[in-house]
Chains A and B, each alone.
Chain A
Amino acid sequence: MTPVRSAIVATGQSDHGRRFDASMGELAREAIDRCLGSRGLTFDDIDAVVAGNMEMFEGIYLVDQYLVGALGALGKPLYKMNTGGTVGASTALACYHLVASGRHKRVLGVGFQKQTEGSAQSAITTVGDPVWERAVMAGAIGNFATMASTYIAESGVTPEQAAKVAVKARRNACLNPHAHLKLPNITVEEVLESEMLAYPIHRLDFCPSSDGACAIVMAAESIAADHAEHPAWVHAVATSHDQQYMGDSPKRLAVMRSLQAATKKAYKLAGVTDPRHDFDVAELYEPASYAELAWYENVGFCPMGDGGKLIDEGATLIDGDIPVNPSGGVLSTNPVGATAMIRVAEAADQVMGEAGEHQIPGVRRALATGYGGNAWSDVMILSRELPATPEVSA
């Protein structure tokens, strides 16, 4: 069977932050209403819904049942995803597969999380293997700190270079009406002087804990142009896993095997040979400043070990030659069930030319990634051009 060419034709985001004013359903609905409303779509136009969320943050197990009304899913197929940090991207990938299979024409994907409703670090502990890892876990921060130490030893990247990423994110966030953490006057010195959470991660090197939701509509080729002037065509989707335990990958972060494998597959499908040149913008899933530098290397924007050099050159700034996370990224906004979908939606907005104040001029092709769990990677490549071949899935 030949897959159906598919495109993202609409996106919507809630206002992210500490949203004590909204229930989970109201927050999801805020993103959905903005998404559908931007194209004059209604729930009648939607054939199926995919919902992404990590249950342990709010302690609500059957969110698909609890939110069936908010998600507009009454009488429709509603699929629930939870793949950890990648869930938002996995949800977008699932939307793609449902449309590409020919089963549905328009699929609504929604990622949402209310991290302020529980204990985020305790919830993250439940990600760890109960027999081998929980007894000695230190939440996402200790995990990232350990990975960053390996990356520093491997690449020689400096705290100043990491701090530049932290500064870039919070300044870019000021251009994004949805972002949570906006710090227009933040400096490298301020990052380096912020509280040490776990060496080498300062408070300002790490993502906030946010409430937020994001929605997309994935549409089939036959109708995509009815909804968007410039649909964001899916040119590649890829997912890759590593082994199961935290210590299984020898140099996790520095050498992210799953991200290398997923981008390799996706680049082949999309005909990307020189990533820094072939992409006009990237939205990478960077929960910590050091992670973004490592991802530069692992997605091939620079040689291995040169991530620090890339930020020193200013290449990934909003006016650089390969802007990374003009939205402000995960470092500015992290409602985890939505976070990876925000990467996809922001990439789609850039391709559609609808990113507002943080729009990069003339975007033709964009890269979005999701990171989660132990060392799992999702990749989606979006383009303004209709893909030459419908075979875009790995």
Chain B
Amino acid sequence: MSTQQAAAFNRDQAIRIEQQITLQYRFAAGRHATRFFTALRDEGKILATRDAEGNVMVPPRPVCGLSGLPMTEWVEVGPDGVLAGCTIVYVPFIDPMTGVQRPVPYGFGLVRFTGADTSIYHLLDATEPEQIGVGKRVEAVFKPREERTGSLADIKHFRMVD
């Protein structure tokens, strides 16, 4: 019987096994998101939830994480707002919604809708990248009604407001 020492292992000849796993999911958006996306799709409105202390949050949710109180009231916010954070993305990145690379560069940021206390991530119109900055005013650019499906992508992107 012969024995082989681990030292004899040649790293350059290490074998790698390739696999591709495709998994498909269908997520229930839930009552709050369904109400939000329905209003977005059908009326071009941005809805938020409010609690008794006056905290206004997007995405809408059943309970405020800060106060612990139920968020039972619905209010309209936006569709304009302020950039709480922003970037121009240059590195190629696979879009998980399509499986293909999103064209770069593109703008990306945190938008705080007027009237809301929280922000959401979304794409920014980057045709004039020097106009993009923290604290700048933006507004939602909606897709045409017939192209809306009831998702956050019904907002095409946010454009800078002069």
A interface residue numbers (CB < 8 A to B): 20-21, 59, 119, 121-122, 125, 129-139, 141-142, 145-150, 152-153, 195-201, 242-248, 250-252
Contacts and interface: CB of A to CB of B under 8 A. Distances in A.
Nearest to B94: A122
B106 to A, nearest CB: 8
Which of B66, B96, B134 is the most central at the interface, judged by chain A CB atoms within 10 Å of its CB? Answer: B96
B29 interface: yes
A305 B25 CA distance: 43
A135 B87 contact: no
B59 to A, nearest CB: 5
Nearest to B99: A122
Interface of B: 9, 11, 14, 16, 19, 21, 25, 27, 29-30, 33, 57-59, 65-66, 84-91, 93-94, 96-97, 108-112, 117-123, 133-135, 151-153
Given A131-B152, A135-B96, A246-B110, 9 more contacts: A21-B11, A59-B19, A133-B121, A136-B123, A138-B93, A146-B110, A149-B85, A243-B118, A244-B65
A59 B153 CA distance: 28
A244 B118 CA distance: 11
B86 A146 contact: yes
A247 B14 contact: no
Given A130-B25, A199-B87, A243 B93 contact: no
A146 B109 contact: yes
Given A132-B33, A135-B153, A138-B89, A247 B96 contact: no
Contact of A147 (B16, B29, B85, B122): B85
Nearest to A196: B90
A139 B84 contact: no
Which of B9, B91, B93, B94 is the most central at the interface, judged by chain A CB atoms within 10 Å of its CB? Answer: B91
Contacts of A119: 94
A121 B87 contact: no
Which of B11, B65, B86, B87 is the most central at the interface, judged by chain A CB atoms within 10 Å of its CB? Answer: B87
A62 B38 CA distance: 38
A218 B93 CA distance: 40
A132 B89 contact: no
Q: Which 9 A-B pairs have the closest CB atoms?
A: A247-B119, A145-B87, A243-B65, A153-B134, A146-B85, A150-B85, A197-B91, A21-B11, A198-B89
A20 B152 contact: no
A147 B85 CA distance: 6
A133 B58 CA distance: 12
6 contacts: A20-B11, A131-B30, A138-B93, A195-B91, A247-B112, A247-B121
A15 to B, nearest CB: 11
Nearest to A26: B6
Nearest to B135: A153
Contacts of B58: 247
Nearest to A22: B14
Nearest to A116: B16
A199 B87 CA distance: 5
Contacts of B59: 129, 131-132, 245
A376 B85 CA distance: 19
B30 A21 contact: no
Contacts of B66: 243
Given A20-B14, A142-B87, A196-B90, A150 B134 contact: yes
A132 B120 contact: yes
Given A197-B90, A244-B65, A250 B120 contact: no
